[in-house]
Structure 1
Amino acid sequence: MKTKPIRSSQSPVRVYLSKEEHLRLNRLCQASGYSKSAYFRSLLNLSVPKPKPPIEYHLFMRHLSAVGNNLNQIAKVANAFGIVKPEEWEQISLELKTLILEIRRDFQLPERMNDGNHKD
């Protein structure tokens, strides 16, 4: 006998939508990869989900991560032989990490809304 998973959200809400609103909600959920519940919760938390990034995005991010790993290995060898100063390497590493975070923010993370009542 299967048991239902325990939900962290225990308060169901019923919402009535017009046919057009329902179609739009379905399109938005499909584009973002969110369930209807997750989409509404995101909006309630003042975050607008973004559409799922294209497959190329994931390939690009994987490649960037591989470049970062290769740079890290090169830096370890260079540092062991005193070829690169640690502070120079830290700057390069920070720039790569910042680039990866900016790309994720622009393509994956939901955008924050400001309703005027919150200080964030």
Structure 2
Amino acid sequence: MRRRAIRIQVWVNDDENAKLEMSAKKTGLSRESYIRSLINGYVPKEMPSPDYFTMMRELHAIGNNLNQLAAKAHVMGHLDRGIFQQEAEHLRSVVQQIQQAVTAPEPRNVSQGSSSVHPP
């Protein structure tokens, strides 16, 4: 285990503290770990949404089903096309859901200082 024997104390104002707290919370790291990451040249990524973990479990389950089908096809010498097509379609559907969740634009939050452009 890595030992840290040097303590550094830094004074920040309320705004800086709020930014640090918010940034660390978004990543799931403690303030100290967040700062250490920055010092070491890494900008921590925000934690993915809970949907990400649900989608990943779904992909793992589909992959497991496809592996089982492949193993069965290898032993029996043929593939049940209906079941394979069903799993392949399920995979395509989940991939589309992931793409939508990751790439689709989200509505801007007005409180984030957006410029106001109103249609005539």
**Smaller-chain TM-score range?**
0.5 to 0.7
Q: What TM-score results when the alignment is normalised by the length of structure 2?
A: 0.58
Aligned CA distance change for structure 1 residues 8 and 72 (closer, same or farther; 3 Å): farther
Q: What TM-score results when the alignment is normalised by the length of structure 1?
A: 0.58
Q: Which has the higher contact order (CA 8 A, sep 6+)?
A: 1
Verify: 1:29 aligned to 2:29, yes or no.
Answer: no
Aligned residue number for residue 10 of structure 2: 15
Amino acid at match of 1:63: E
Please give the residue correspondences for 1:26-65 in structure 2 after superposition, counting only pairs within 5 Å: 26-65=21-60
Identity value in percent: 38
Q: Which runs of 5+ in 1 are unaligned?
A: 1-5, 85-95, 97-102, 108-120
Q: How many residues align?
A: 82
- Larger proportion of helix: 2
Give per-residue Cα distances to partners, 1:11-54, cap 9 Å, x unaligned: 22212222211110011011111001110111122111122111
Amino acid at match of 1:44: I
CA–CA distance in 2 between the matches of 1:75 and 1:17? 59
| Bigger Rg, which one | 2
- What CA RMSD, in Å, does the superposition of the two structures yield over aligned residues? 2.5
Following TM superposition, the consecutive aligned residue runs of length 4 or more in structure 1 with deviations greater than 6 angstroms are none
